[in-house]
Amino acid sequence: MYRGRFAPTPSGPLHLGSLVAAVGSYLDAHAHRGQWLVRIEDVDKPRAVPGAADIILGQLEAHGLTWDGDVIFQSERDKVYQSYIDSLTSAGFIYQCDCSRKAIRERGGIYEGYCRTRQPRPTPYALRYINSAPVNQFNDRALGVQHGDTNTCAEDFVVKRRDSLYAYQLAVVVDDIEQDITDIVRGSDLVVPSFWQLTLWQHITSAQPRMMHLPLVTSDDGRKLSKQNHAPAINSQNAPDNLLIALNYLGIDAHELSETRKIDEILAFAVQKWRKKWHITAA
29 close to 1: Cβ distance less than 8 angstroms: no
d(CA 119, CA 114): 10
Alpha-carbon distances of 210 from 18, 28, 59, 245, rounded to whole Å: 20, 12, 27, 26
User: Annotation-wise, does 166 bind a ligand?
Assistant: no
CA distance linking residue 174 with residue 130, whole number of Å: 17
Q: How many helices and strands (H and E) does the chain possess?
A: 9, 10
114 is in an annotated binding site: no
Q: Quick one: which H or E segment has residue 5?
A: strand 3-6
**135 has which bridge partners?**
none
Is residue 276 classed as helix, strand or coil in its secondary structure? helix
Whether 7 has a binding-site annotation, put simply, is yes
Q: Which residues have a Cβ under 8 Å from the Cβ of 39 and sit 6 or more positions away? A: 5, 6, 7, 71, 72, 73, 74, 175, 179
Tell me which H or E stretch contains 265.
Answer: helix 263-278
Q: Is 9 among the annotated ligand-binding positions? A: yes
**Angle of the 239-249 helix axis to the 263-278 helix axis, nearest 10:** 10
- Any known ligand binding at 115? yes
153 annotated as a binding-site residue: no
Confirm or deny that 117 is annotated as ligand binding: no
Task: Give the separation between CA 149 and CA 137, rounded to whole angstroms.
Answer: 9
Annotated ligand binding at 116? The verdict is no
- Nearest CA to 181 out of 141, 211, 154, 150 is that of 211
Residues making up the binding site for Zn(2+): 97, 99, 111, 115
Residues making up the binding site: 5-9, 41, 97, 99, 111, 115, 168, 186, 227
Residues making up the binding site for ATP: 227
Residues making up the binding site for L-glutamate: 5-9, 41, 168, 186
